[in-house]
Amino acid sequence: MLTIGSLAKKTGTKVQTIRYYEQIELMPEPGRTEGGQRRYGDAELDRLSFIRHSRQLGFSLDAIRELLDLGDHPNRPCHEADAIARRQLKQVERRIARLEALRTELNRMVHECSGGRTADCRVLEVLRDHSACLTDHDEIGA
């Protein structure tokens, strides 16, 4: 039986985050000691590991909920899980494309900086005047 602290350590999660997952019903209510402290077993350890690993791969908590649900039904066809993963992949690819455009633009800004007065700063100039910017970037945080 694991305390919340050791479960946290094993999964690289903060204690508060585990309690938060319980609150939003992503993790089940665990057993308690007489004094009221949470105690966890292997099932919970597995579930939390799954959640954390999915988070590291960028899945939203809602997507994780779906994935967990699919995992609970081993005989159902798996194309749904596949679809969720593909969606995630698409999103990651979109983000990469966007960040690469930003990298290009920031690189240009930084390399054109003469190191003089702020009045002549290319960095500030580019930010001031979008037309001095070669990149097409419309969405924020996409």
1 in contact with a copy of itself (CB under 8 A)? no
Identify the helix (H) or strand (E) that includes residue 76. Answer: none
Using the rule CB under 8 A, give the single segment among 2-10, 18-26, 37-45, 53-61 that binds a copy of itself: 53-61
- Contact pick of 49, 55, 91, 135 for DNA (by CB under 7 A): 55
Q: Within 10 A of 76 (CB to CB), how many other CB atoms are there? A: 12
Shortest approach of a copy of itself to residue 106 CB, angstroms?
4
Number of C-beta neighbours around residue 74 at 10 A: 7
Question: Judged by CB under 8 A, does residue 133 bind a copy of itself?
Answer: yes
Q: Does 84 bind a copy of itself (CB under 8 A)?
A: yes
Q: Does 67 bind DNA (CB under 7 A)?
A: no
DSSP 20-58: HHHHTTSSPPPEE-TTS-EEB-HHHHHHHHHHHHHHHTT
- According to the binding rule CB under 8 A, does residue 93 interact with a copy of itself? yes
Q: What's the Cα-to-Cα distance from 138 to each of 68, 98, 101, 130, 142, rounded to whole Å?
A: 35, 10, 11, 11, 9
From 25, 34, 42, 129, residue interacting with DNA (rule: CB under 7 A) = 34
Residue 61 or residue 134: which is nearer to DNA going by CB? Answer: 61
